[in-house]
Amino acid sequence: MSKQIILITGISGRIGSKVAEYFSQDYQIIGFDITPPVNPKIDFIKVDISSDENVLKGLELLKKNYGDEIASVIHLAAYYSFAEPESKKYDQITVKGTQRFLKGLAHFQLEQFIFSSTMLIYKPTQPGIKITEDSAIAPSWGYPRSKTQTEHLIHELRKGFSSVNLRIAGVYDDKCHSIPLSNQMQRIFENQLESHLFSGDIHCGSSFVHMNDLVEAIGLCVKKRKELPEEINLLIGEAKTFSYDELQKKMAYSLYKKEWKTWRVPKPIAKIGAWFQDHLPFMKPSFIKPWMIQIADDHYELDISKAKRHLGWDPKKRVDETILQWAEELKKDPVAWYTENGLNIPNSLKKKAQ
């Protein structure tokens, strides 16, 4: 008996490759992306989701070579950037890309459509007040806004298949691979002035989820696809949210075995400082952009009881414990850790490595 098909968009990304690996034993995996996956054994069709012609051609190839029956589509392809709060690509790739993809899938016998949304679609809360799936939705910049619009599209275009919107926390793994967390770790490791300053409330924070736990949640969605409601939204993140200050102290103690003091900087001053770092030639560019300062106070604390109830899912990893692993690897080989996380390597570290 031939294996059922799972179609993964964005298969060459970090999440896509892990999801493909998870399902590879039990399902026939087909991947859509603009670049081939690292694993050459995965069946791959080159598809640019921002192109009508490309999506149509990709789906035609899929039907011709594998038939029209799909157990689950795991839709990860999307646009994301910390460089700017707004971009036309959010609409071109995330929103309209999903729209053309769903219209093409209407010609297939599809059981389930899983969409990788984000917890950032919600209105931020306060420490101690958890967000549920029914909390107020108020996306404040391009990325979460595009996810909200795409969720509405899935609801409107869904026909003959069930849908799951996974509203995912910030993803990290054993090597970090989280842009905000790796940059925070770098600032502390280098004892930068910025590592002692923060433009928001240091008692606020954001939920995270380990890659392995996210992949398991996706796996359970596929496994229980016949049991889940026709449409369901699920928050996927760790039950405990650590404040910015708690993460600062954990990182600093893991690296240096000492306390770390962080002072709050008024937003107008922080914005001026961020602007100068971005624009003056003798200043080192900063990860923190002026637009980020306005949302520095945003607090995301999740109630994951719905995912526990419907999936039997409970995250096994915790970001505070994983920081210890990052610190050991960073101290052992800073250049390798910086390279792995796409960070700029200062000359002092390059010289030490040489």
Q: Kindly state whether residues 166 and 263 are assigned to the same domain.
A: no
* Count of domains observed in the chain: 2
Q: Kindly state whether residues 139 and 95 are assigned to the same domain.
A: yes
Tell me whether residue 351 is in a domain: no
Contact indicator for 315, 209 with CB cutoff of 8 Å: yes
Would you state the pLDDT for residue 276?
46
Contact indicator for 177, 142 with CB cutoff of 8 Å: no
- From 216, 236, 256, give the residue that closes a domain: 236
Q: Kindly state whether residues 85 and 191 are assigned to the same domain.
A: no
Tell me whether residue 46 is in a domain: yes
Tell me whether residue 67 is in a domain: yes
Q: Kindly state whether residues 146 and 287 are assigned to the same domain.
A: no
pLDDT in tens, 200-258: 899 999 999 999 999 999 999 999 999 999 999 999 999 999 999 999 999 999 999 99
Among 7-21, 277-291, 327-341, the least confident range? 277-291
Domain span holding position 189: 179-203+241-300+319-346
Q: Kindly state whether residues 118 and 190 are assigned to the same domain.
A: no
pLDDT confidence band for 2 (50 / 70 / 90): confident
Tell me whether residue 130 is in a domain: yes
Among 1-10, 20-29, 216-225, 305-314, the least confident range? 1-10
Would you state the pLDDT for residue 338?
96
Q: Kindly state whether residues 184 and 130 are assigned to the same domain.
A: no
Tell me whether residue 31 is in a domain: yes
Tell me whether residue 314 is in a domain: no
Would you state the pLDDT for residue 132?
98
Residue 64 has pLDDT above 90, yes or no: yes
Q: Kindly state whether residues 166 and 249 are assigned to the same domain.
A: no
Assigned token pair, 301: 């604390």
Closest CA to 85 of 140, 18, 154: 140
Closest CA to 57 of 114, 121, 119, 100: 100
Q: Kindly state whether residues 30 and 105 are assigned to the same domain.
A: yes
Would you state the pLDDT for residue 277?
56
Tell me whether residue 352 is in a domain: no
State how far the Cα of 270 lies from the Cα of 132, in Å rounded to an integer. 32
pLDDT confidence band for 306 (50 / 70 / 90): very high
Mean pLDDT of 137-155: 97
Would you state the pLDDT for residue 41?
87
Prediction pTM value: 0.93
For residue 43, give the CATH number of its domain.
3.40.50.720
Residue 93 has pLDDT above 70, yes or no: yes
Would you state the pLDDT for residue 270?
52
Place of tokens 């029956």: 69
pLDDT in tens, 151-178: 999 999 999 999 999 999 999 999 999 9
Q: Kindly state whether residues 151 and 289 are assigned to the same domain.
A: no
Closest CA to 180 of 169, 193, 191: 169
Percent of the chain with pLDDT over 90: 82
Q: Kindly state whether residues 229 and 124 are assigned to the same domain.
A: yes
Mean pLDDT of 291-304: 87
Tell me whether residue 306 is in a domain: no
**In this structure, what DSSP letter does residue 175 have?**
T
Strand-pairing partners, residue 5, are 28
How much is the mean pLDDT over the chain? 92
Measured in whole angstroms, how far is the alpha carbon of residue 79 from the centre of its chain?
A: 11
Q: Kindly state whether residues 10 and 114 are assigned to the same domain.
A: yes
Q: Kindly state whether residues 215 and 291 are assigned to the same domain.
A: no
pLDDT in tens, 12-43: 999 999 999 999 999 999 999 999 998 888 99
